A and B are shown apart, each in its own frame.
Chain A
Amino acid sequence: MTEATVFVVDDDDAVRQAIRLLLRSVGLAVEVCASAAEFLERWDPTRPGCLVLDIRMPGMSGLELQARLAREPSAPPVVFITGHGDVSLAVRAMRDGAVDFIEKPFSDQDLIDRVQRAIRLDGERRAATVRRQAATIRFAGLSAREREVMLAIVAGRANKVVAIDLGLSERTVEIHRARVMEKTGARSLPELVRLAALADIVPADGDAPG
């Protein structure tokens, strides 16, 4: 897996460079951008890491960049750095999904802790994405009929009920069910339910039967 990168976006050159050196001193990979626009230009959604973002910037502000990234499926976690008296802005940022904020001037350990937590969160999000994608791929090979049967049994209905619902013989339902288990690689019904939840096919909190 690629190494996590911390992107630092701050229009103040000194602050930007200082943060870069500080994060590098603990062995983190750092890239710096002087504006939100520059970050958007260079941003590669596939690269893991997090964003350290100045809340006030000329042009597109930190908040605006956050709002813009929130629409992306693999938005990096954001740690806002705020100046004096920007707490209300920080609260709004947190409500909009920022993972943390830190007030200038900050202690090195605070920043490093927050950045590392953000990187960890990104890693977890990316792992979840990978698992979801894998699960989605497993369901991709099902035929239309097999998918119908799968949805019904994941919803907890017995073969007999499914057969009546779909106007099939119970035997046919059993064949389809075996094919579903085979194609998805699920070794049991609970595992199939978990996979379906991972692939966003059914709600994760679905009360699947044991």
Chain B
Amino acid sequence: MEFLLAKYNYWFYILIMMVGFYAMISKNNLVKKMIGVSIFQAAIILFYVSIGAKRGATIPIIEHGHDAVHHIDPTAYINPLPHVLMLTAIVVSVSTLGVALALISKIYAKYGTIEEDEINEQLTDV
């Protein structure tokens, strides 16, 4: 029980990631696949941000006055690196989702469907 509670952030990230991964590989509809990709990305973001946590620490904005800076204790502030990485990843994931939706829109215009097996049938017929 102690072991389960000590690492609970990882259990949740694996659970969410499995949901997204399942949607990615076994859903037939391309839009549902993209929803799976988004859930997968959310799981990775949760994983990174949870790595940056430190018990008893505050957000990584250094308290300072106008005088000379005093000694800064790194354990009093959470790890800023995962936040930086995920900050850019969130915006990039939104724009790549836009590209995927545009591609799906074009696929729908060409084949009249976004079901993967129906597209495969049309491809093999020709």
Chain A bound to chain B: no
